[in-house]
């Protein structure tokens, strides 16, 4: 699928925010270590791990105690959610996850492989004077390690974590972090995500969005399409 403009806006973006997990960092790169630890199950573990991780963030966002007096009362940092999801994934494939294997996989998740085009794209945006940042469910410690291990340190102007508002995407409080940090309205900010649900949530919030559809998945069928769809991060540069 070539780069598509599905409903382009007349407003040219003046800044760009990237989702982190799946967009800049390959969440399925953990399958290599998982396969070493659990032969024949590595790919399944990585897929279930990711799916359950996202499912848990949505459950936390939408659940409440009797009376509903506290927003997201079951909130826990993304690192803890990620560990919980790993434990579920191993149980689902009936593999025993001992403490050593758990720490090895969690440490691997902390330093996920980055997609190869990331650095050059961010360097080009920085050279052009375009403000950049990450807007992620990841908590600050996770994001700091991931950025440094990928060699992207110094290339991002903002690293915005959902942990600061104790919600996860697609809650509007998370998306609101972008306009607040960048000092401009959402419709002047390009938001880039490889997750179709995230691109849709950001579109509904008011961002200009680019869905980075690396896996050639179908478009979400809820009646709204991201204004831009691409298969490579390099296409971001054509919008500035």
Helix and strand numbers, DSSP H then E, in the chain: 9, 7
- Smallest CA-to-CA distance from 150 within 119, 122, 121, 125 is with 119
Task: Answer yes or no: are the C-beta atoms of 173 and 192 closer than 8 Å.
Answer: no
Say which of 19, 26, 139, 235 is annotated catalytic: 19
157 is catalytic: no
Using the structure block, give the residue that is written with the tokens 């360097």. 123
CA distances from 166 to 137, 138, 169, 195 (A): 10, 11, 10, 21
Q: How far is 160 from 166, CA to CA, in rounded Å?
A: 12
Residues marked active site are found at: 19
């Amino acid at each position: 699928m070539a780069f598509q403009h599905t409903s382009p806006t007349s407003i040219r973006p003046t800044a760009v925010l990237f989702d982190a997990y799946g967009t800049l960092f390959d969440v399925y790169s953990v399958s290599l270590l998982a396969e070493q630890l659990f032969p024949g199950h590595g790919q399944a573990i990585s897929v279930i791990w990711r799916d359950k991780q996202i499912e848990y963030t949505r459950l936390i966002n939408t659940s409440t105690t009797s009376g509903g007096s506290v927003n997201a009362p079951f909130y826990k940092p993304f690192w803890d959610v990620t560990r919980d999801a790993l434990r579920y994934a191993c149980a689902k494939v009936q593999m025993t996850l001992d403490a050593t294997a758990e720490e090895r996989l969690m440490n691997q998740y902390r330093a996920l492989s980055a997609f190869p085009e990331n650095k050059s794209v961010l360097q080009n945006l920085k050279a052009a004077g375009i403000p950049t940042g990450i807007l992620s469910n990841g908590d600050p410690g996770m994001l700091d390690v991931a950025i440094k291990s990928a060699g992207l340190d110094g290339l991002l102007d903002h690293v915005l974590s959902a942990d600061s508002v104790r919600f996860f995407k697609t809650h509007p409080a998370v998306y609101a972090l972008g306009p607040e940090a960048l000092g401009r309205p959402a419709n002047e900010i390009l938001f880039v995500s490889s997750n179709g649900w995230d691109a849709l949530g950001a579109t509904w919030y008011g961002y200009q969005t680019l869905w980075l559809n690396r896996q050639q998945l179908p478009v979400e069928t809820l009646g709204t399409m991201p204004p831009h769809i691409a298969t490579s991060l390099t296409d971001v540069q054509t919008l500035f």
